[in-house]
Amino acid sequence: MPLEVIEITAKHRQLLVRLSELVPGLDPDAPDSLQRVFGLGLIALTLQVTNKARQREQTELVDELGALARSMVEAENWEQS
């Protein structure tokens, strides 16, 4: 299934609607907002994996994931939001 056709469960939709009430510019029906939420989720997952890699002393993986996450944040200007 292509990523453009992801179905959102009722519970995820409810969470998105509630978040849209609290986060300026978040529209649960707009593809760009959903892409931003997806990107933030990827960064959160990356942080979890990076912490585990750091504990296992996998320095190369930590460096690579950190660089990828930083480039995502910079590309989206999230640090200014």
**pLDDT tens digits for range 37-54:** 888 888 888 888 988 998
Share above pLDDT 70 across residues of the chain, in percent, rounded to a whole number: 86
Tokens of 71: 């480039």
Tokens of 53: 């890699």
Tokens of 39: 């990107």
Q: What is the dihedral of CA 41, 42, 43, 46, to 10 degrees?
A: 120
Model confidence pTM above 0.85? no
CA pair distance 38, 32, nearest whole angstrom: 10
Confidence grade of residue 28 (pLDDT, cut at 50, 70, 90): confident
Count the Cβ atoms, other than its own, within 10 Å of residue 49.
13
User: Which is it for the CA torsion 7, 13, 19, 20, positive or negative?
Assistant: positive
